Amino acid sequence: MTSPRPQRLRSRGSSEFRMRVGFVVIAMVLSFFGARLVQLQGLDPDQYAEMAAADGTVRVILPAERGDILDRNGEPLANSADGLMVVADPAVTAGLAPELAKFLSTRLAVDYFSTLERLRVEDSRFQYIARQVPARIASDVLDEAKRRAAAAKEDAEQAKEDGDREALEEYEAIADAYGGLATRRDPVRVYPGRDIAANLVGFLGTPNPDGTAKPSAGFEAMFNGFLAGKDGEARYQVGAGHKIPLGDNTVTEAVDGHDLRTTIDRDLQWYTQRVLHQTRLSSGGESAIAVVMDSRTGDVLALADDPTYDASEPLQADEDDFKSRAMSDVYEPGSVQKVLTMGALIDAGKVTARTKLKVPGVLRRQDRPIGDWFDHGLIKLTLAGVVAKSSNIGTVLAADRFQDGQLRDYLTRFGIGERTDIGVGGETAGLLPDGSMWTSQTEDRIAFGQSLSVNAVQMAAAVNTIANGGVRVDPSLVKGSASTELGTEVGTDHTTTRRVISEDAAHQTMLMMERVLDPEEGVAPSAAVPGYRVAGKTGTAQRVDPECKCYRGTTVSFAGFAPADDPRFTVYVVVQNPKTGGGGSVGGPAFAKLMSFALRRYAVPPTGSEPSRLPVTWR
């Protein structure tokens, strides 16, 4: 009988053998991995870093489409057209970076050194080279890159046949490098009107380092966050230089920007700019401004500056022309201010349009004599005559009836000395002297438009208060509502109104302003619009020279509205430092052209009523 003991011994010995074999196998595997680790980290790191760069995650920008800037009728002032970004894969372009950087900087007008750096970025499979490139230009660049890559491949095939290994590697590197360039959709900004409203619209400059748009002026800058939207991105895994179909792929969709609809009428803006340019050149002025406003709503239909620039080619313009002078430049308004003084006097119950005044040739006051623009002895003018003849002396005599602080309070209610905040960067508030600095001499000068300063839209809104029956309505440049970069909401949804003077005071002031255009009694018959009743006022003021801080040159202007007895539009024209002419002869004809165009464009019929016959003189 066989004993069981030897069998148990053989079983235990077999298990020990298998364990020994397993330990040996594990040791061999660990030794293999250890050797590979040494090789990776010490013996050949460059080769394996290059292989690792071919794998990983690629991040691709999905550009948001910037909102359009539109006129009141939906016509584009700035919009986005088909464009492309040129991108590179540094994993394959790094070896030929100097040659590629030269090629790209020449064709795309990008900086050579920053391009060189992008072509060499380590551990990256995506770098943009240029953004918002017109599709034709970007496509031409990529086609040329493909041609060079194809030619290099042909040379590589020939080198392979010739057995020239060194040449083969060189041509393959060239083919891969040019093949590492590509394009992606990236809408480009265009300005179809070129110089139309460029002073308001602004432009986009050279993109920021991260490729995002760089707003450089106007609405493009002031409403950048509103217009820009937010770029999205796509991330996907690659292996051996190719996208892995079932890899970890994520997409964050782009959020397009909002359209900005303005109150501007593109055709009226175009015409206004042309008239303004002609007016400035013919008068020899340094600059000029024109405002066309809807009298009832406060919508700014045209806001023109001259000189201006082409928003499609801003680098060819003077930087001083990028701003809106109508908002940033301040000046003393001169005699246009008189209609605010008169409206306030009538509202306060101090005078009427028929109040009689004896106006001397010179008025002796505390610090200096006050004269009129025309020589005369003692003349007898009604208040309407003071406005029609634009008499400084008559205005001061009437303003003497104000109580202390009363004129300043009225001007504040008209909006003088306050920003309009309509969404234009760089707006200045002008200057209305503080009550503590208000002396009788200051009031004399302010009554006829000196010793205070305004911007053009501010002054147009003040005159429009008279056109609107004594109710001031905030001016607007944006339809609806939009957020500025300053964090404020602007637009027609946020306008307010306030009564400044009574309806009767506004009506009497209007009747006096009509006499300014009378061919026999007034100083500006050239501002008349045939067939329509027109109310207006000239302005000529000494101009402060910013260099010497003294008066040198003049500011001439004309403001008015029509039809006078049922106002539809308010127009204001300003010319700085003309060589010849005054408010009536320079601003008046420009006003007439603009008002006539606006009335025809909006098919506003004449009222058919009789014009003002207020007496100008008395016996």
Q: Which of 90, 79, 86 is nearest to 116 (CA)?
A: 90
Same domain, 303 and 170: no
Query: Which residue segment(s) compose the domain that 122 sits in?
Result: 83-185
Residue-level pLDDT at 14: 58
Q: Report the candidate in 435, 444, 418, 420 with the shortest Cα–Cα distance to residue 337.
A: 444
Q: What is the CATH classification number for the domain harbouring 230?
A: 3.90.1310.10
pLDDT at 384 over 90: yes
Q: Among the listed ranges 321-325, 367-371, 420-424, 512-516, which one has the minimum average pLDDT value?
A: 367-371
Average pLDDT over residues 8-20: 54
Residues 348, 483: contact at Cβ < 8 Å?
no
Q: Is the pLDDT of residue 55 over 90?
A: no
Any idea how long the chain is?
619
Whether residue 248 is contained in a domain is answered as yes
- Provide the whole-model pTM: 0.81
Of the candidates 166, 185, 204, which is a domain's last residue?
A: 185
In a domain, 336, yes or no: yes
Same domain for 294 and 219: no
Place of tokens 């302010």: 446
Instruction: Measure the CA–CA gap between 374 and 54, rounded to whole angstroms.
Output: 86
Say if residues 598 and 292 touch (Cβ distance below 8 Å): yes
Residues 252 and 365 occupy one common structural domain? no
Residue by residue, DSSP assigns 211-266 as S--EE-SHHHHHTHHHHH-B-EEEEEEEETTEE-TTS--EEE--BPPPPEEBS--H
Residue 176 belongs to a domain: yes
Which region holds residue 132: left if phi is over 0, alpha if psi is between -120 and 50, else beta? left
The number of domains in the chain is 3
pLDDT over 70 at 19, yes or no: no
Same domain for 194 and 157: no
The two three-digit tokens of residue 532, written as one number: 């329509």
CB neighbourhood size of 404 (10 A):
10
In a domain, 613, yes or no: no
| 448 and 357 inside one domain | yes
d(CA 362, CA 492): 47
Max Cα–Cα distance, the chain, nearest Å = 163
CATH of the domain at 302: 3.40.710.10
224 and 282 belong to one structural domain = no
Shared domain check, 435 and 579: yes
| Confidence class for position 238, pLDDT limits 50, 70, 90 | low
Domain membership of residue 566 (yes or no) is: yes
pLDDT level of residue 253 (50, 70, 90 thresholds): confident
Instruction: Tell me the pLDDT band of 43, cut-offs 50, 70 and 90.
Output: very low
Based on the domain organization, do 209 and 346 belong to the same domain?
Answer: no
Q: What is the DSSP letter of 516?
A: G
Q: Which of 185, 218, 243 is the last residue of a domain?
A: 185
Lateral strand order in the sheet of 260-261: 188-190, 76-81, 69-70, 260-261
Q: Tell me whether residue 156 is in a domain.
A: yes
Residue with tokens 């005044």: 357
pLDDT per residue over 513-565, tens digit each? Answer: 999 999 999 999 999 999 999 999 999 998 877 777 778 889 999 999 999 99
The 10s digit of each residue's pLDDT in 387-420 is 999 999 999 999 999 999 999 999 999 999 999 9
Query: Do residues 346 and 509 make contact, with C-beta atoms less than 8 angstroms apart?
Result: yes
State which of 228, 245, 261 marks the end of a domain.
261
147 and 292 co-located in one domain: no
Whether 572 maps to a domain, the answer reads yes
Q: Residues 534, 456: one domain?
A: yes
At residue 204 the predicted structure's pLDDT band, cuts being 50, 70 and 90, is: confident
* H-helix segments, 400-545: 406-414, 440-447, 456-467, 503-514
More confident residue, 240 or 462: 462
Q: What crossing angle do the helices spanning 338-347 and 392-399 adopt, rounded to 10°?
A: 30
112 and 254 inside one domain? no
Same domain, 213 and 162: no
Say if 166 falls within a structural domain.
Answer: yes
Alpha carbon 502 to its chain's center? 37
- Residue located via tokens 């009222």: 607
DSSP state of 515: G
Task: Show the CA angle centred on residue 520, arms to residues 450 and 279, nearest 5°.
Answer: 55
Residue 292 has pLDDT above 90, yes or no: yes
Which of 89-93, 299-303, 332-336, 467-471 shows the lowest mean pLDDT across its residues? 89-93
Here the CATH number for the domain that contains residue 139 is 3.30.70.2110
Query: Is residue 214 scored above 70 in pLDDT?
Result: yes
Q: What is the pLDDT of residue 6?
A: 46
